[in-house]
Amino acid sequence: MSLNEITDFAEQLARDAGELIRREREHNTLRTDYKKQTELVTHADLMADEFITRAIQQRFPDHRILSEESMPDLAQAESLDTPLWIVDPIDGTVNYAYGHPQVAVSIAYAEQGRVRAGIVHAPFANETFRAIEGENATLNGNAIAHSNCSVPREALFATGFPYTKDNLAPLINRLDTMIHHCRDLRRIGSAALDICWVACGRLDVYYETVSPWDFAAARLIAREAGATVGHFSEVPAGYPEDLWGQDILISAPALFEPVRALLQQASQ
């Protein structure tokens, strides 16, 4: 199967899952629970996760899956022997539970630790971001590109915060630095959409520490839209950079180095 066919399959899956979670939110009583005592999860998360993973398993029984809800084993990201699907059935679960529209289904496909295809579908906005490695990124079929912002003072940035609150001081230091050197902050609540919004110029910078399912698809979309993608700390030797979620930085190209310097200084 060609990479384009794989991406078409992923896009249809994301759209169908998006319709499922949209219907659940609009027509049924929202059922919620918590995992790890702090992280909100909804019944729709589990339904969409089961729908996506089952479809992948039926179509590609030899492929591996890294999925936030049903298969969250991060060791999968380090194994390079077979293709890997990285799935977040609802990125922005808190937004979803509160009725905010910034919600996305994220599906990425990787080979040898390299993300080759990515889909981020926002069902309430009816927006589908798509990328294949080496081709232009698109939004609803139209090519997208980063903002070309070149001065931190004029940059609109996004970030997020963890559910656990036991080590917030470094994050607050970085936030303080960025607020003082950039135009303003947007706290959207979905890492996948934060990154896609950098890809299409709605934001200029995104930084955060997140899990592979939050960013794998969107990172490829941003890269293929011409944004610079990387980290403001070192990636461990031998770990696939496309799937390393610590200290991610994604921005318009001219902003990357000055913002990385700001974040590194704030992290000391």
Distances (CA, A) of 191 to 21, 26, 195: 18, 23, 6
Note the residue count of the chain.
Answer: 268
Q: Is 214 annotated as a binding residue?
A: yes
Tokens read off for 201: 């110029």
| Tokens read off for 185 | 């902050």
Six-digit token string for 70: 């049903």
SS3 35: strand
Return d(Cα 124, Cα 12) in angstroms, integer: 16
Residue 90 is labelled as binding a ligand: yes
Tokens of 97: 């539970």
Burial of 209 (0-12, 13-18, 19+ CB in 10 A): buried
91 is in an annotated binding site: yes
User: Per the annotation, where are the binding residues?
Assistant: 68, 88, 90-91, 214
User: Per the annotation, where are the binding residues for Mg(2+)?
Assistant: 68, 88, 90-91, 214
